[in-house]
Amino acid sequence: MKDNIFDIEVVGMGVFGLSIAWECVRRGARVRVVDHQPYQRSSSYGLVGALTPHVPERWEIKKQFQFESLVMAKSWWNEVELASGINPHYDRCGRIQPIIDEKGLERAHERSLEAKKNWKSIACWNVVKTKDIASWQPETPTGWVIADDLSARINPRLAINSLRLALLKYNVPLTALKDLGKFKYKNKVLATGTAGLNTLSRELDLPIAAHEKGQALLIAYDSSHQPIITAGGVNIVPQPKGLTAIGSTTERFFDNPFKTDYRLNELYDKAVDLLPVLKHSIVVEKWAHDRPRAVTRAPLLGKHPIQKNTYIANGGFKIGLGMAPKIAEVMADLILNDNNRIPYKFSLENAIEEAKIRKVKEAPTI
């Protein structure tokens, strides 16, 4: 490579960094990916892999963006698999959500009408009797559930490894540490997760980062070809090789982001209450990690407010794998063509304004 100059250096080997690198490479850019930690330490390298949509009511650009990403996911991940030879086990398996009371049933019917309008004929959000479900049946007081066919699952670790190998086959260097002074780049992308949000908060003296921890587990229960089940903050997600993932906790206050504790046992108990067939399943793995949550709870995308020729792709809190295809697309448009198609709610400008408001609210009174 002439003068060892890359078009783009991506910092971060989570799903945002690798996906943006992949999209830019596909468009002919010369890309290098680096990280200061092993890729297995990324919050993307988890267990759950639920790609689920927002409710289809009160439609706005954020929901439209996520909808487009979920719709394009199958073809996008198929191309990654074709390049890498590694199956990320993407499957648009659908999702079932129990309806717990009459008010919830009424709301579900209203949302079904909204889905017809906003999802059009691409996907469905149906209200059905539990007895009419051919697959596994969760406990539900009303006998009714929501069944959508837009939700999908993926195996996070296989997805990350598939992206990594696809990039390697396109001769993209993936290095654990920067070779300072050896390579140059025209543009840099910071996809550095929680650490990156903390750094940005310090640089701007604003509370951009809002810490949150999640715990999940993997059990030996074969749920092949079954839909995701979601209720009460629990996702039960089919995974390959006779396994099922259960996740995840949502913790704002914690001492160790990488340590599992009693909250994970409580999560398992809730999953068994929801789906009794899981009882007595062997726990194969437990997982805990802090997750990159921005002050807006939305992805944080755009040009760095201070550093030149630098871009940020962060804040994939809970939805990083589902948003990755569309985020990779709009970030490649911005970096390579200076075409900004990022929704304002995902922009750095919006996050800065939200952080300023929070800073004033949290300022001590005299």
Give the count of alpha carbons within 13 A of 302, CB side only: 19
Asked if residue 119 has pLDDT above 60, the reply is yes
In a domain, 353, yes or no: yes
Predicted confidence (pLDDT) per residue in 96-113, tens digit: 999 999 999 999 999 999
Assign residue 178 the CATH number of its domain. 3.50.50.60
- The pLDDT of residue 133 is 86
Asked if residue 179 has pLDDT above 70, the reply is no
Among 149, 151, 140, 137, which Cα is nearest to 278's?
Answer: 137
Is 153 strand, coil or helix? strand
Element (H, E) at 33: strand 31-34
In a domain, 300, yes or no: yes
Give the count of alpha carbons within 13 A of 331, CB side only: 37
- The pLDDT of residue 225 is 87
In a domain, 128, yes or no: no
Inter-residue contact 234 to 274 (CB < 8 Å): yes
Peptide bond into 75 cis (omega under 30): no
In a domain, 164, yes or no: yes
Chain-wide mean pLDDT for the chain?
Answer: 93
- Distance CA(188)–CA(20), nearest Å, equals 11
Predicted confidence (pLDDT) per residue in 292-323, tens digit: 999 999 999 999 999 999 999 999 888 899 99
Give the count of alpha carbons within 13 A of 333, CB side only: 11
Name the DSSP class of 141.
Answer: T
Please state the φ and ψ torsions of residue 29, each to the nearest 5 degrees.
-80, 150
Tell me the two tokens of residue 309.
């020729």
Tell me the two tokens of residue 175.
């290095």
- The pLDDT of 253-273, averaged and rounded, is 95
- The pLDDT of residue 365 is 58
Asked if residue 178 has pLDDT above 70, the reply is no
In a domain, 256, yes or no: no
Tell me the two tokens of residue 174.
């993936």
- List the domain range (segments joined by +) for residue 331: 1-91+151-209+295-366
- The pLDDT of residue 181 is 59
How many other CB atoms are found less than 10 A from the CB of residue 3?
6
- The pLDDT of residue 183 is 77
Tell me the two tokens of residue 133.
């479900």
Predicted confidence (pLDDT) per residue in 34-78, tens digit: 998 888 888 999 999 999 999 999 999 999 999 999 999 999 999
- The pLDDT of 131-145, averaged and rounded, is 89
Predicted confidence (pLDDT) per residue in 196-232, tens digit: 999 999 999 999 998 899 999 999 999 988 999 999 8
Q: What is the largest CA-CA distance in the chain?
A: 67
In a domain, 347, yes or no: yes
Is 62 strand, coil or helix? helix
- The pLDDT of 128-145, averaged and rounded, is 90
Work out the pLDDT band at 91, boundaries 50, 70, 90.
Answer: very high
- Distance CA(332)–CA(93), nearest Å, equals 29
- The pLDDT of 2-29, averaged and rounded, is 93
- Distance CA(27)–CA(180), nearest Å, equals 26
Please state the φ and ψ torsions of residue 291, each to the nearest 5 degrees.
-120, 140
* Cβ partners under 8 Å of residue 41, min gap 6: none
In a domain, 72, yes or no: yes
- The pLDDT of 144-158, averaged and rounded, is 97
**Chain-centroid distance, C-alpha 236:** 16
Asked if residue 2 has pLDDT above 60, the reply is no
Tell me the two tokens of residue 177.
């540490």
Residue/partner pairs of 337-341 with CB below 8 Å, 24 or more apart: 340/302
Number of domains making up the chain:
1
Exposed, middle or buried by CB within 10 Å (0-12, 13-18, 19+), for 261? middle
In a domain, 172, yes or no: yes
